[in-house]
Structure 1
Amino acid sequence: MSAPPEALASPHRRVRPRTILMIVASAMFMEQLDGTVLATALPTMARSFHADPLHMNVALTSYLLTLAMFIPASGRIADRFGSKSVFRAAIGLFTLGSICCAQAPTLWALVAARMLQGAGGAMMSPVGRLVMLRVVSKAELVQSMAWLMIPATIGPIVGPPLGGFIVTYLSWHWIFYVNVPIGILGIVLVTIFIDEMKEPVRTKFDLRGLFLSGTALACLMFGIEVASRGVGSGWIIAALLGAGAASAGLYTVHARRTERPMLDFRLLRITTFRMSLLCGSLSRIAVGAMPFLLPMMFQLGFGMSAAESGSVTFVGSIGSLAMRACAPAFLRWLGFRTVLTWVGALATGLLAASAAFRPDWPLPLIYAVLLANGFFQSLQFMAYNTIAYADVTGEDMSAATSFYTTFQQMALTLGIAVSAAALAASIAATGHAQPMLPDFSAAFLFVAAVSFLAPLLATRLDKGAGAELSGHRERPGRAKIV
């Protein structure tokens, strides 16, 4: 991987890697809690801001959009200024953004505050993952990833019922204030327990690459977002998409001429990294749609309150948490390719089953579908997140984490935009004045169809891929460079 933990630790003390993993996981818990609490509260917040509930997805996508813009720089900034300093500053910026969100008087003020949160989150998640990758060996990576994701998975479990309780009995402003004590505690723990870790800076910071990649990602994602919500004229959408495509083209030319570009596409030569990125992005489009579609369907289609909706949607996260403990055993037994194909197909099928949800369904049956979906999706993404780094060298680890996390967040943003567009298209086609249950069903089936492409493509992965990480008995395959 990179240097062993002994080489990275301070000469005055040594902190167990598991302690560092739990600190990093707590930051991810705060980020996941924030997103799931907000998703449940959107219909109530729409009434407060006098906005269309379907347009409230901008509060989710503005955050994810900012992540996509700034994540590419996270690894290089961590190398230059140190993982500890950057991670601590990111937590502080995220906490400050949370306070600004709680004070927002209008929807667009909320969007601006969410973008400030996103600037902190853009550093917090990938740099936290980089800290983890630098303190564990490859043989410990699967088990460490499971440990890392347990507190991060608790956020989506607590988030929906907590969000429903807050907006029903208190005020939506408190969904952001809950981040403040967690953020302050995180800053203190990082200061005490995490040592400064830097990589030698071999080239100057790629400022031009950051500008071009950020412009491309921002324009493309914002253009898709505007189009999905059906707001803005056609020429504005065309201008955004055109500017994004032009910036992407210029960045491609720039990256070929730069030794260490901001987003290094040469990493895609590594088969395991490329397949994890491509298939994982297709699957994440569906996962990104779930926090938007499910609460909307239960509140607008079923007539549930925010609290009732939250008491249902959190069940999928319980399934995800249940999988964390046994994911290493599943990967050791089945291997990465089997998990990414057959388990991925099963998870997609369970996602498609959500399209059939109706108010007359027994709640235990809805719980069962969501629980199973969360269980198998968790295994699928554990495999994606682990095998991505199977054949990445230590010197490329910062670039790989930034690259992977950038496209991970892009896929989640696309999931919200695509599901909102599918929902709007169904409403327009059926002539409904507001979204009805068949419209939600159409949106679920559309994102499930996109997600099903992932297990199909995963069949091209070598049988022995990632065997060093999983311990699967298939003969280990070598990294393929094409």
Structure 2
Amino acid sequence: MTSEAATAVDPSRKSLLWLVAVGFFMQTLDATIINTALPAMAASLNVSPLRMQSVVVAYALTMAMLIPASGWIADRFGTRRIFFAAIVLFAAGSVLCALSQGLGQLVAARVVQGLGGALLLPVGRLALLRTVPRGEFLQAMSFVAIPGLIGPLLGPTLGGWLVQYASWHWIFLINVPVGLAGCIATLKYMPDLRGAIQKRFDSVGYAMLAFGMVAISLALDGVSELGLRQGGVMVVLIFGFASVVAYWLHAARTPEPLFAPSLFGVPTLSIGLIGNLFSRLGSSCMPFLVPLLLQVSMGYSPVRAGLMMLPIALAGMAMKRFATPLITRHGYRKVLVVNTVLVGCTMASFGLTAPGQPIALHVLQLLAFGAVNSLQFTAMNTITLKDLDGSMASSGNSLLSMVQMLAMSLGVAAAGAVLAGYNGIFGTETAAHTLDAFQATFASMGLITVASALIFWHLPAEVRAAQPAQPEVSGQG
């Protein structure tokens, strides 16, 4: 390629990078901006703030469901068309969220948002993979990953500010002008790429896997939100597990399954995925529980509660530079076993939170959790993917992304169920009783996280970080 040709291509490639980065920013911002606004939304919709977890679960679960199909959809219909449709769905879902008059309408609107959000990063990453030279791909993905760090940093504070000085509706309406600009930029800069060979989509396997994820999540959410009795919960839960098992039996007999069972022949991937699921099952509830605790039981304003989430994000960003040296020196198994226990203990420490304590103590707790949680995500993500060859890397990465979003959905649903259970034990929803319920919930979810350290104990002791950790572009780490 001549220098003139390179000069002609570079501006277009740079515009594509910015487009994918902004799409990723929209998705990660919306995943965090809503948590601080939940009490205000609950008051507006005449429901208890302790029963708002379905608003978070609907978004994460929809993303988990659609991620396995995103690659095939982009190959079949083209990256430009699908990226454009993703932005339209995301913006339309945002408008529907702002117009919602009841919790059911809001949950349905979050599903529409999730449909768009699930396609933004995978399709954008696919477009970069097929247009950016191999030698520049890591640098390109590092650039795109930056909004994944800025979104969680900005989201809670911005959400609290909008709730306090405008209304909760604006946390969704701000997506509309960004979405409009994104649609115009997509038509101008997104290449229309399709797969050279159209593979048959495993629709039967996809239906089994999607139904299993939804059923298991609904069973957990049904304990507190849907009002299902124990018998109904057990029926839905058994159907969910049966569907997941049926998928893996189906995948073993299908030439081109969504996720080949041979993936689990790689020990680090299988242990990493299972560890991801159970470890995140505990820790992913923290962005949901902490703002609720601060506002419902501690009397914090939305803005103050949002600002209190900043230490988690700042400590997480600062910890990234120490992850690789720690893993290189001590190995993945030792780091993950010890750090998983630390994550669980820092979570459980929030069970000691009470009004009147020095704010510096709470900031210190949040900094500690942010640091160990960031190290956890980096170590789990890299150990899961490090031993995959080229033919398995794409499928393994999609499976990891799905597990991350599924764990977020299940974690928030489980925390909501545990919180509702303890709230029933401690009495009516006064500030004192809800504080008792929150304290017990933090302790319980921390213990769940500590238990997941047993999974990482099965990693080979000699596995270490041979090179710098790959940039985390999933938005969940």
Q: What is the distance in 2 between the residues matched to 1:138 and 1:361?
A: 52
Match of 2:159 among 155, 159, 163: 163
Superposed counterparts of 1:417-432, under 5 Å: 417-432=413-428
Percent of aligned positions with the same letter in both sequences? 35
1:201 match: 197
Decide whether the 8 Å contact of 2:129 with 2:137 is kept in 1: no
1:446 match: 444
Q: What is the distance in 1 between the residues matched to 2:437 and 2:355?
A: 15
Q: What is the distance in 2 between the residues matched to 1:276 and 1:67?
A: 21
Q: Which amino acid aligns with 1:59?
A: V
Change beyond 3 A, Cα 1:96–1:230? closer
The TM-score normalised by the length of structure 2 is 0.86
Change beyond 3 A, Cα 1:23–1:255? same
Superposed counterparts of 1:63-142, under 5 Å: 63-83=59-79, 85-130=81-126
Residue 396 of structure 1 and its aligned partner are, at CA, apart by 3.0
Two-structure CA RMSD over aligned residues (Å): 3.1
Q: Which amino acid aligns with 1:460?
A: H
Match of 1:462 among 441, 460, 466: 460
Q: What is the distance in 2 between the residues matched to 1:206 and 1:129?
A: 22
Q: What is the distance in 2 between the residues matched to 1:275 and 1:208?
A: 27
Gaps of at least 5 residues in structure 1 are 1-8, 473-482
Decide whether the 8 Å contact of 1:336 with 1:470 is kept in 2: no
Residue 375 of structure 1 and its aligned partner are, at CA, apart by 2.0
Change beyond 3 A, Cα 1:295–1:138? farther
1:480 match: none
Residue 43 of structure 1 and its aligned partner are, at CA, apart by 0.8
Residue 188 of structure 1 and its aligned partner are, at CA, apart by 4.7
1:358 match: 354
Q: What is the distance in 1 between the residues matched to 2:86 and 2:288?
A: 26
Residue 44 of structure 1 and its aligned partner are, at CA, apart by 0.8
Decide whether the 8 Å contact of 1:264 with 1:403 is kept in 2: no
The 3-state SS of whatever aligns with 1:388 is: helix
Decide whether the 8 Å contact of 1:337 with 1:459 is kept in 2: yes
2:270 match: 274
Question: What does the per-residue CA deviation read over 1:337-377, in whole Å, with 9 as the maximum and x for residues that have no partner?
Answer: 44323333333322222221222221122112212211221
Decide whether the 8 Å contact of 1:140 with 1:469 is kept in 2: no
The TM-score normalised by the length of structure 1 is 0.85
Residue 39 of structure 1 and its aligned partner are, at CA, apart by 1.0
Match of 1:173 among 161, 169, 173: 169
Question: What does the per-residue CA deviation read over 1:268-318, in whole Å, with 9 as the maximum and x for residues that have no partner?
Answer: 221222122111122211232112211111111111222221121232112
2:475 match: none
Q: Which amino acid aligns with 1:448?
A: G
Q: What is the distance in 2 between the residues matched to 1:408 and 1:133?
A: 22
- Which sits farther off after the overlay, 164-173 or 62-71? 62-71
Decide whether the 8 Å contact of 1:275 with 1:461 is kept in 2: yes
Gaps of at least 5 residues in structure 2 are 471-477
Q: Which amino acid aligns with 1:363?
A: I
| 1:386 partnered with 2:412 | no
Task: State how many pairs are aligned.
Answer: 463
The 3-state SS of whatever aligns with 2:284 is: helix
The 3-state SS of whatever aligns with 1:115 is: helix
1:225 match: 221
Change beyond 3 A, Cα 1:11–1:336? farther
The 3-state SS of whatever aligns with 1:51 is: coil
The 3-state SS of whatever aligns with 2:52 is: helix
- Which sits farther off after the overlay, 234-243 or 268-277? 234-243
Change beyond 3 A, Cα 1:360–1:113? same
1:342 match: 338
- Which sits farther off after the overlay, 325-334 or 280-289? 325-334
Q: Which amino acid aligns with 1:352?
A: A
Q: What is the distance in 1 between the residues matched to 2:420 and 2:209?
A: 30
